[in-house]
Structure 1
Amino acid sequence: MRQQKRIAIIGAGPSGMAALRAFAAAELQGDTNPEIICYEKQDDWGGQWNFSWRTGTDHYGEPVHSSMYRNLWSNGPKEALEFAEYTFDDHFGRPISSYPPREVLWDYINGRAMQSGVKARVRFAHAVRWVDYSEEAAQFTVTVDNLRTKETVRETFDEVIVATGHFAFPNVPNFTGIETFPGEVIHAHEFRGAERLKDKRVLLIGGSYSAEDIGVQAHKMGAQQVTMSYRSQPQGFAWPEGMQEVPEIVGFDGQTATFVDGQVREFDTVILCTGYLHHYPFLSRELHIESPNNLYPEGLYRGVVWQNNPGLCYLGAQDQWFTFNMFDAQAWYVRDLILGRAELPSAEARAEHARAWLERFEAAQTVAQQVQFQADYIRDLIDATDYPSFDLDEVVRIFLAWKADKQANILTYRDCTYPSVITGTMAVRHHTDWLDEFDDSIERYLETPKPQVTQ
């Protein structure tokens, strides 16, 4: 009689939680699940959505995973990330705004996972150190440190799901003369709040979402001047007075930075918004993704199955327009492969499938094409499983409306509202304009302000 399969999930952030939920859903349908162990190096789940004041290393001496900071509000509509089988209505029991703060979104993903009863499968404060694969045994050996007891354990598994994300290991380029800069220099990964930037002249190096959001946060919190240096092209928003984009930096001389267009400016603080790298220190190069951050990393069949060893799967390894619901679609498909509900094609067929999708990805040049590409990718996964279908094209429309709202006013787009594509519920406007809201707690967010009494 065949021994029960053993599955390791590495990471209990949104992707790992999606995998646990997927197996729990199959169990409710009468499937017999394999033995599942999820290793999470933090003390609780949620991955990036766990805020910590710490930077560098945590209280165990491990690299801090989360890049979250105080007063971080969703920078995309919640309607674009809503779980198809656990809605915001299900969780909050009432309409909420389209751009909740971090604590509210953590509460949402935590609520779904707690409802599934899967927390017992997670070994918290367990850091995976190495994953070996034996061709002869067709098994993985996972070496793990229990960070609380200081014990090292080695366990064997039939399949491994890597769900550690790829926005935790910062890309830190060098800049000529940066060592002479007398002020603070940090990566966005270490940024923990814009309050300390009040009255400061801030330089953000980078031209994407981190620079945009930290820049707007700094402006909101009273920075004297916010300058964003882009390498390829400006973001092009109608920035308010006190915010400006400049081209690529040439170098530093003390507090003075020089840019390729000849501009020279002085700064008090430099924040590197230079992105993140795929980094899996527990995997050998034979199992490790080697890809820039893009919508379709090479080496993965259907964006999840490692082509050279299909016993290894990745969740959430793509650059992301969609997030939580894409992780669900991936997790449901990986689950079905493991349970035998879906059949894995031959290596040749997998390679051909990947080539076709890579060609589609390379042809997607505009924002609209890229969003539609990822919607079609998710649809392909959902069509192969029993994950509830939802109107992906409507989500694409919401994404494009979001982009237009940002172009109209980068400071007020979070006050806009959208309908749920799952329930049809229209979001409500938050009781306080985002620019005037300085309390991001869930208590403040969910409170109903007392009506104004007019004299």
Structure 2
Amino acid sequence: MLQRVAVIGAGAAGLCAARHILSRLNCFAPPVVFELTDKVGGTWCYDERVGTYDNGLPVHSSMTNLPKEVMMFPDYPFDPKLNSFLPHQEVQRYLEGYCQSYNILPHIRFNTVVESVKPVGMTTEGGESRTTWKVTSSDPSGHRKTETFDSVFVCSGHYSHPHTPDIPGIENFKGKVLHSHVYRYAEPFSGQSVVVLGAKASGLDISIELAKVGAQVTLSHGRPRFTFPLPPGIRQSSPAVAVDEDGSISFQDGSVGTADVLMFCTGYNFKYPFLDGAELGLEIQDQLVSPLYRFMMPPAFPSLFFIGICKMICPFPNFNCQVQFALAVLDGSVTLPSVAQMEDEVRRELKEKVEQGVQQRHLLIMEQNQWEYCRTLAHIAGFPPLAPVVRSLYEEVWWQRRVHPENYRRLNYRLVSDTQWELIE
């Protein structure tokens, strides 16, 4: 009996899941991919007109902060003629090409909302208990439909629900408050004073763009101070802790400042309105979903997979490893430990991180651990591991970014072999 798989989301992770399911039609029926919008691409499906700027200013779209040589799915390279650092539209085009190349389009239901995903226990002929999934969705006409699947891949991403930390007195702020989610380009902030809260990738990139158009930027963060030269017009400060009654901002170090704009570059929350966490033995919090074995599956329901939930990773290669591991679990070539063992392992890993001082909201950040993680998945499930050149170039770009935050995207690279890359002049 072929297994039926539902895939929620037609962004990079969902397309990757569909592509690998379609390559194993001896085990799996063609997937059903549910997509909320009318396009593939998810977060890369870039709409310039979010926000209120409709004033004919020159528009530039956001750039990737990883080179295409590192971003790509291992089995589908980008066009070699393109620069290493690409605008959103090129990544969108790449995903459309991937979709076409693996004939995924016929399996996507566009403009379809998944309303609920519920586990249903059933007993097979051999007396084993097995979970199936009832997936209820509605199409644009409002027609609701409930179908049964053997497995569900949650590929709905985590870049659509902005996380805004609680700052006491924020209602006193006299200027504009926004999240980087609605930021599109810098020109409207020219000549204004902007406090940017958060200094990870988006906070730093947006600060540099704002400074270039003459905004006065205060980059407010709790990380060690950046030691590389920032453009004139950006100063660093400690975290903002409150907004006073007169609208001024108090910082952790005791200093006080004023601003026209408060820009939150503070990441996103996990939201899965179609899932009941308690029913699945999961705690779904703003910044953490737990326990997930191998960062993918609830131990009690190991036919439900969250793809791409980790942060600070090389996204497409990571999804590619997770999907192949998940399918190896489903086709029986990977045997999982018992539910209790899986729960223990997750608890132990999280406890170790907390003991090392990692804050709860950072528990899903992988950074350096991503390489060992992907290697382990490949080893257990028996698929080719990521080429070492991916890590080597990723780390080079990470270093360049620290040293030349303004110019690192001007560089172009080429992969020479599985272990070597070169800089193209």
Give the deviation of 1:337 after TM superposition: 2.2
Look up the match of 2:132: 139
TM-score normalised by the chain length of structure 1: 0.80
**Cross-structure match for 2:236:** 245
Residues in 1 aligned to 2:408 and 2:291: alpha-carbon distance in whole angstroms: 37
Aligned residue type for 1:186? L
User: Equivalent residue for 1:123?
Assistant: 109
**What 5-or-longer segments of structure 1 have no aligned partner?**
57-68, 430-455
Q: Summarize the alignment of residues 261-300 of structure 1 with structure 2, pairs less than 5 Å apart.
A: 261-286=253-278, 287=280, 288-290=282-284, 293=287, 298-300=290-292
Counterpart of 1:76 in structure 2 is 66
Determine whether 1:103 maps to 2:81. Answer: no
Match of 1:337 among 325, 329, 334: 329
Q: Which amino acid in 2 is paired with 1:78? A: K
Please state how far the C-alpha of 1:264 moved relative to its aligned partner.
2.9
- Counterpart-to-counterpart distance in 2, 1:357 and 1:173: 26
Contact 1:98/1:427 (8 A) holds in 2:
no
- What is the aligned length? 402
- Cα offset for 1:13? 0.9
Shift of 1:108: 1.6
Note the 1:128-277 alignment, pairs <5 A: 128-136=114-122, 138-146=131-139, 148-220=140-212, 222-253=213-244, 254=246, 256-277=248-269
Structure 2 residue ranges without an equivalent (≥5): 52-58, 124-130, 359-364
Describe the shift of the 1:292–1:427 C-alpha distance in structure 2 as closer, same or farther (beyond 3 A).
farther
Name 2:77's counterpart in structure 1: 87
**Among the aligned pairs, what percent are the same residue?**
27
SS at match of 2:31: strand
Structure 1 pair 206–425 and aligned structure 2 pair: CA distance change class (3 A): closer
Q: 1:51 to 1:150 in 2, by over 3 A?
A: same
Shift of 1:353: 5.0
The equivalent of 2:408 in structure 1 is 413
Counterpart contact for 1:418–1:426, Cα < 8 Å:
yes
Give 2:46's aligned residue: 51
Please say if residues 164 and 179 of structure 2, whose CA atoms lie closer than 8 Å, have aligned partners that are also in contact: yes
Cα contact 2:374–2:385 (8 A) shared by 1: no
Offset of residue 37 of structure 1: 0.8
Q: Indicate the residue corresponding to 1:6 in structure 2.
A: 4
* Aligned counterpart, 2:14: 16
Kindly state the Cα deviation for residue 370 of structure 1 after the two structures are TM-superposed.
5.4
SS in 2 for 1:418: strand
Residues 55/415 of structure 1: CA separation in 2 closer, same or farther (3 Å cut): closer
After TM superposition, the score normalised by the length of structure 2 is 0.85
Quick check: 1:381 aligned with 2:374? Answer: no
1:125 offset after TM fit, Å? 0.5
2 CA distance for matches of 1:230 and 1:425?
A: 34
The answer to whether the aligner puts 1:114 opposite 2:104 as a matched pair is no
SS in 2 for 1:302: coil
Cα separation, 2, equivalents of 1:32 and 1:134: 21
